[in-house]
Amino acid sequence: MHNASYRIMENILLEQTHATLPALYGLVAEQLQRLSGSAVCSFSLYDPDARDLTTQSLIADKPFVTKILSVLEKGVIGLKTQVSPQMLSQMMEVRIKNVISLSEATEGSIPPAAAKVLQAITGIDRFIGLSFLVDGQVYGTALMGMKAGIPDPPPDMLCFFASMTSIAFRGKQNEERLTYVSQHDELTGLFNRRHFYEVLEKLQSTGQFPLVLMMMDVDNLKQINDRYGHLAGDEALARFAKHVSGQLAERMVFSRLGGDEFVLISPGDDEKSGMLLMETIRTAIAELPGNGRSIPMQVSLGMAVARDGSDKLMDLLHEADLRMYADKKERRMNTRDYPGNSSRKGEAGSPA
């Protein structure tokens, strides 16, 4: 490789180290297009379970071509190409593949007629496919559309780019996996206690007010554990988390604090909307199927509202916690169907 190519490569790899994994997909197409001199470049991610390639990014060298592609982008980004065992084997064995037809390059995902029109508009007369391998497995592919008269980029440069980028992919995957594990509860997939308090601290100064804090406690976990075992209890917690999550808006932060305790942050909600949300959750849990078991799912709830940044969120969290236990106590005293209660209305049962 020439020294100029090395310098470009160094800058490219430096950019990659600071990118998130989704941003890296866009960078790959952009950097490879610049490095190869191609008119159009795309990057597709391989899914080994579905055995398909999904286009993640697309870049072109001229504003006119970019404008054309932007019209097609909705159809191109997210385009899936099925990968046959033969095609997968070729991607693993042959890092660089030269083809003439766009339809052939996409394994027929783009119809031949549409491919011809697109090639005529862009002036592309051939394509170069490049495989990205991570730990011996296909991670994705790039497709470069080359114009007539533009020489193919050196194969050793493409292979070096793919190898270094694959290392970046693996590093970003590991980094994001560790980040996910550090922020999420293993059983339910919700945010964990540590991440919740990090979010709470951040919201104290930057939060969208008013803001609702809601504590939740699964009332009957002890009865489920005692009667059906702890695996059934874990299953009940996971079902509870999934069902409540289905009632929530994307802006809300739902976390498991530990055991049978959960907490919800709802930015932008006041006391009135918070009360409606609380009833929505209570109704949804009451309607949750018992999964073939006789113990119904029930939940105690407590809520507090921060009207502005002067309200201390930690104090309000404690207030919501006290209200949750008051709700638990009141329902235990007044509901014959509360878990642990006897058949006589008003008799307190064992703690949940």
Query: 109 and 28, same structural domain?
Result: yes
In the chain, the percentage of residues whose pLDDT exceeds 90 is: 48
What is the token pair recorded at 290?
A: 């018992």
Kindly report, residue by residue over 22-36, the tens digit of the pLDDT.
888 888 898 899 889
Q: Give burial (CB, 10 Å; 0-12/13-18/19+) of 104.
A: middle
Q: Which residues contact 161 (CB under 8 A, 6 or more apart)?
A: 9, 12, 31, 32, 35, 130
Q: What is the CA radius of gyration of the chain?
A: 28
Kindly report, residue by residue over 105-150, the tens digit of the pLDDT.
666 666 777 777 777 777 888 889 999 998 888 999 999 989 888 9
Domain that holds residue 227: 193-334
Write down the pLDDT at residue 8: 63
Query: 314 and 250, same structural domain?
Result: yes
Query: 178 and 213, same structural domain?
Result: no
Q: What is the CATH number of the domain that holds 303?
A: 3.30.70.270
| Residue 251 scores a pLDDT above 50 | yes
Q: Indicate the DSSP class of residue 199.
A: H
Query: 101 and 232, same structural domain?
Result: no
Query: 211 and 112, same structural domain?
Result: no
How many domains does the chain contain in total? 2
Q: Please, which pLDDT band fits residue 80 given cuts at 50, 70 and 90?
A: confident
User: Is 341 inside any structural domain?
Assistant: no
User: Is 349 inside any structural domain?
Assistant: no
Query: 178 and 32, same structural domain?
Result: yes
Write down the pLDDT at residue 124: 84
Query: 176 and 151, same structural domain?
Result: yes
Of residues 65 and 308, more confidence is placed in: 308
User: Is 321 inside any structural domain?
Assistant: yes
User: Is 80 inside any structural domain?
Assistant: yes
Q: How many CA atoms lie within 13 A of 328 on its CB side?
A: 24
E strands of the chain, at which residues?
40-47, 52-60, 80-82, 96-99, 124-134, 137-147, 211-218, 253-258, 261-267, 299-306
Q: Quote the CA–CA distance of 157 and 196 in Å, as a whole number.
A: 46
Is the backbone of residue 322 left (phi > 0), alpha (psi -120 to 50) or beta?
alpha
User: Is 350 inside any structural domain?
Assistant: no
- What average pLDDT does the chain have? 84
C-beta of residue 9 within 8 angstroms of C-beta of residue 3: no
| Residue 312 scores a pLDDT above 80 | yes
Query: 135 and 55, same structural domain?
Result: yes
Final residue before a domain boundary, out of 134, 159, 182: 182
Q: Please, which pLDDT band fits residue 304 given cuts at 50, 70 and 90?
A: very high
Final residue before a domain boundary, out of 182, 209, 237: 182
Query: 178 and 48, same structural domain?
Result: yes
Write down the pLDDT at residue 349: 38
Pairing of strands 40-47, 261-267: unpaired
Q: Indicate the DSSP class of residue 62.
A: S
User: Is 58 inside any structural domain?
Assistant: yes
Write down the pLDDT at residue 43: 93
Name, of 68-77, 97-106, 301-310, the range with top average pLDDT: 301-310
Give the residue-averaged pLDDT of 3-10: 61
What's the gap between Cα 42 and its chain centre?
22
Q: Give burial (CB, 10 Å; 0-12/13-18/19+) of 286.
A: exposed
Kindly report, residue by residue over 168-196, the tens digit of the pLDDT.
888 888 888 899 999 999 999 999 999 99
Q: Give burial (CB, 10 Å; 0-12/13-18/19+) of 57.
A: buried
In the chain, the percentage of residues whose pLDDT exceeds 70 is: 83
Q: Please, which pLDDT band fits residue 281 given cuts at 50, 70 and 90?
A: very high
Kindly report, residue by residue over 258-267, the tens digit of the pLDDT.
999 999 999 9
Final residue before a domain boundary, out of 160, 182, 204: 182
| Residue 292 scores a pLDDT above 70 | no
Least confident piece of the model among 168-172, 304-308, 336-340: 336-340
Place of tokens 């709802």: 266
Place of tokens 């109704």: 283
Q: Please, which pLDDT band fits residue 350 given cuts at 50, 70 and 90?
A: very low
Query: 156 and 71, same structural domain?
Result: yes
| Residue 249 scores a pLDDT above 50 | yes
Write down the pLDDT at residue 291: 58
Q: Specify the pTM.
A: 0.67
Q: What is the CATH number of the domain that holds 85?
A: 3.30.450.40
Write down the pLDDT at residue 351: 42
Query: 130 and 22, same structural domain?
Result: yes
Query: 144 and 40, same structural domain?
Result: yes
User: Is 139 inside any structural domain?
Assistant: yes
Least confident piece of the model among 48-57, 185-194, 284-293, 302-311: 284-293
User: Is 255 inside any structural domain?
Assistant: yes
Write down the pLDDT at residue 327: 95
Q: Please, which pLDDT band fits residue 18 given cuts at 50, 70 and 90?
A: confident
Give the residue-averaged pLDDT of 237-257: 95
Place of tokens 């980028």: 165
